[in-house]
Amino acid sequence: MDRIGTFPDEILTHILSFVPTTQAIATSILSKRWIHLWRHVPLLHFSDTRLKNLADNYRFNEFVYKIILSREAAGNHSINGFFLDIEYFYPKLAFCPSNPNITNWVDYAVECNVQHLDLYLDVLRNVDKHRNRKFPKLPFSVFNCRTLVSLKLHWFHVKECFSFDFVGFPSLKVLHLKEIYFDEYEEFILLLAGCPVLEDLDVFDVNFGGLETLLEFDNVFKSSSLSNLTTAYIRGCCCDFWLKALSNLKFLNIDFLKAMFMWWNGVLNN
């Protein structure tokens, strides 16, 4: 006889934490016991969200709020992971109706001490997206989230001055930044320097408004910082990089201006 069906709720919600939230909700139909299980899943996972037009956008926003309220009403105030993956049919949708709502959700996740934050925004027709070089604004609250263990961002604008409040990510191990626009190069460096236990860095197509910096890298990066960094991909990123920060790497893949350099296991260590 199958024993999984007779498992305690915690085990079943654990399994449900590996499926997108929509599918977890769909399990309500399995039996009476399952109606409420999805509300106790400790993460929110919205994958493959495709928004064609404003109506879609409003529906999705409403849907997310409904889910948050429904979990709250069931007494679930914990969010270990918040994963959002949205493809817009045209760039404009990512701004007005969407961005303020994403900010609300991220603020909420940060209040719940989220550990894994994965925000992936994109536009179906990439041509439009790149014509204006305009990026949706990253919610500032991200930088106050000291519980973060992994942070993955795609297509965001990091406005200047976030570093005024930034006290660092003491537990951050994974940092992936793709198609990100920083107003100030300096702040990108301060962000990296604020991740003392970082193990995995992936930087792709990161651009900067201003490249000037008065920072002395040797002062910013204390001798201990980034000493755990073992994997780094750095591609499409035109800036100085502090090589000492990469001294403990086991794997490095740098691709500057389409030229490919690869160092495998330990070459850099020696």
Partner 1 sequence: MAEEVSSQMNSLSISETNPSSSATISLVSGDDIVFKVEPTIAKEMETVQSFIDETDGKITTIPLPNISSHDLPYVIEYCEKSIAGKITKEFEAEFVKKLNNEEVKELFLAANYLNIKKLLDFLSQVIADRIANKSVEYVRRYFGIENDFTPEEEAKLREELAWTFTGVDPDDEDEN
What residues line the site for partner 1 (CB under 8 A)? 1-5, 7, 11, 14-19, 22-23, 25-35
Tokens of 82: 């918040």
Report in angstroms how near the CB of residue 17 gets to partner 1 at its nearest: 7
DSSP lists the bridge partners of residue 46 as 84
CA triple 234-225-202, angle to 5 deg: 20
- CB-wise, 55 or 257, nearer to partner 1? 55
Q: Indicate the residue among 18 and 261 with the shorter CB distance to partner 1.
A: 18
Query: Is the Cβ of residue 6 or residue 219 nearer to partner 1 in the bound state?
Result: 6
Q: Please identify, using beta-carbon distances, which residue of 31 and 126 lies nearer to partner 1.
A: 31
Structure tokens at 257: 């201006």
Distance CA 197, CA 248 (A): 12
Identity of the residue, 48 or 212, whose beta carbon is nearer to partner 1 in the bound complex:
48
Nearest-angstrom CA–CA distance, 49 and 198: 30
Q: Among residues 33 and 130, whose Cβ is nearest to partner 1?
A: 33
Q: For residue 128, give both structure tokens.
A: 């439009």
Report in angstroms how near the CB of residue 2 gets to partner 1 at its nearest. 3
Among all chains, which residue has been given the structure tokens 């035109």? 238
**What is the rounded CA–CA span in Å between residue 255 and residue 168?**
27
Q: What are the DSSP calls for 98-126, one per residue?
A: THHHHHHHHHHHHHTT-SEEEEEEEESSH
Report the half-sphere exposure of 36 (CA within 13 A, side-chain side): 9
